């Protein structure tokens, strides 16, 4: 009964607030991962994007204006990681705050000595535990221009990572996934890339991945959807773990 009621509510939302065909075609054209999907998966993604726009508040700031095409595009990017997981994986938070460009978070940071500093780092995106996702619209629009980069997928990966606590590169795994294998695969890849970085070698992904295990998972997730062939070639074990986690086969 519960599932029937939920399906009825979903159908009602989709019927009441459908994404217009021109807007959907525009989003598919501008969101590279969607172009690898079959018609059935694209239809599912369209439903998820519709529900995302219904449930999440998109809040532009500093005079930024987002039109319907912009909102559909952002929702489409956001729902790529949960295509096979469902929107429930994004429960527990409500807002997407969008700045016109890179932003500096206005909050104090405490260093190891206990000294309080104001952050002065420019960010393209940020995800808070049970708070909002924050994005730079300029970086959203630049998605795909640099291979393997997608700031929306990056921040959504952090949200998935936080479902079982702090972001640490260890999201809640599915029942048949082995936690020991996940740990071994990601630790081994981390150590290898650290060695390559120390030796001055070019890395197969953004070096920002080596900032922390959480960033490694988020950057690898970007690669998985935006440049899957590259990830499978250089880090095949990581690719296979993400394939199991996201339940998708982008390559």
Question: Does residue 194 lie in a domain region?
Answer: yes
pLDDT at 144: 76
CATH code of residue 105: 1.10.472.150
* In a domain? residue 183: yes
pLDDT of residue 122: 85
In a domain, 166, yes or no: yes
| 193 torsion bin: left (phi>0), alpha (psi -120 to 50), beta (else) | alpha
- Domain of 112 in residue numbering reads as 2-246
Q: Is 104 among the domain residues?
A: yes
Residue 251 lies in a domain: no
pLDDT for 248 equals 97
Q: Which residue do the tokens 């993400």 mark?
A: 242
pLDDT of residue 107: 60
In a domain, 150, yes or no: yes
- Report the domain count for the chain: 1
For residue 151, give both structure tokens.
Answer: 């700031």
Of 226, 213, 232, 238, the closest CA to residue 81 belongs to 226
Residue 130 pLDDT: 84
Q: What is the pLDDT of residues 18-58, one digit of tens each?
A: 899 999 999 999 999 999 999 999 999 999 999 999 999 99
Residue 147 domain-assigned (yes or no) = yes
| Residues with pLDDT less than 70, the chain | 1-6, 8-11, 15, 106-120
């Amino acid at each position: 009964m519960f599932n029937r009621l939920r399906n009825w509510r979903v159908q009602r939302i989709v019927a009441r607030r459908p994404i217009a065909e021109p807007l959907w075609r525009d989003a598919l054209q501008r969101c590279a991962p969607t172009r690898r999907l079959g018609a059935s998966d694209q239809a599912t993604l369209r439903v998820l994007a519709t529900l995302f726009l219904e449930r999440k508040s998109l809040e532009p700031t500093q005079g930024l204006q987002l039109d319907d095409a912009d909102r559909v595009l952002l929702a489409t990017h956001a729902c790529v990681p949960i295509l096979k997981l469902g929107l429930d994986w994004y429960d527990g938070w409500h807002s997407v705050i969008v700045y016109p460009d890179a932003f500096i978070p206005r909050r104090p940071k405490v260093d190891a000595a206990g000294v309080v500093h104001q952050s002065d780092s420019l960010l393209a995106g940020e995800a808070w535990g049970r708070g909002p996702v924050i994005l730079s619209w300029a970086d959203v629009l630049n998605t795909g221009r640099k291979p393997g980069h997608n700031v929306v997928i990056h921040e959504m990966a952090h949200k998935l990572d936080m479902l079982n606590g702090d972001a640490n590169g260890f999201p809640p795994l599915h029942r048949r996934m082995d936690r020991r294998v996940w740990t071994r695969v990601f630790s081994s890849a981390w150590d290898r890339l650290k060695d390559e970085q120390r030796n001055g070698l070019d890395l197969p992904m953004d070096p920002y991945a080596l900032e922390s295990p959480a960033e490694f998972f988020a950057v690898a997730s970007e690669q998985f959807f935006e440049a899957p062939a590259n990830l499978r070639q250089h880090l095949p074990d990581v690719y296979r773990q993400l394939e199991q986690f996201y339940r998708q086969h982008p390559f």
